[in-house]
Amino acid sequence: MYRPPARLLFSTALFATLALGGCSTTGSPSSADVTGSIRPASAPRSNVEWRNEMDSWGERYRANPANPETAINYAKALRAVGQRAQAAAVLEQAAAHNPNDRAVLGAYGRALADNGNFQQALDVLNRAHSQDQPDWRILSVQGAVLDQMGRHTDAQRYYASALRLMPDDPSVLSNLGLSYALSKNLPQAETTLRRAAEQRGAEPKVRQNLALVVGLQGRFQEAEQIASKDLSAAEAEANVAYLRQMLAEQQQWKKNPRGSPLTPMTGSS
Q: Domain for residue 158, yes or no?
A: yes
Q: Domain for residue 233, yes or no?
A: yes
What DSSP assignment string belongs to 216-265? HTT-HHHHHHHHTTTS-HHHHHHHHHHHHHHHHHHHHHHH-TTS----TT
Give the integer Cα–Cα distance in Å for 163 and 253.
38
Give the integer Cα–Cα distance in Å for 13 and 47.
21
**Could you tell me the CATH number of the domain that includes residue 201?**
1.25.40.10
Q: Domain for residue 173, yes or no?
A: yes
Give the integer Cα–Cα distance in Å for 265 and 14.
8
pLDDT of residue 124: 95
Q: Domain for residue 4, yes or no?
A: no
List all residues 6 or more positions away from 178 whose beta carbon is below 8 Å from its beta carbon: 14, 15, 17, 18, 147, 189, 193, 209
> What domain range includes position 185?
14-255
pTM metric for this prediction: 0.76
Q: What is the pLDDT along the chain (269 residues), one digit of tens a residue?
A: 444 443 333 433 344 355 555 433 333 333 333 333 323 344 568 889 999 999 999 999 999 999 999 999 999 999 999 999 999 999 999 999 999 999 999 999 999 999 999 999 999 999 998 888 889 999 999 999 999 999 999 999 999 999 999 999 999 999 999 999 999 999 999 999 999 999 998 999 899 999 999 999 999 999 999 988 888 888 888 888 888 887 787 666 666 655 433 333 323 33
Count the domains in the chain. 1
Q: Domain for residue 267, yes or no?
A: no
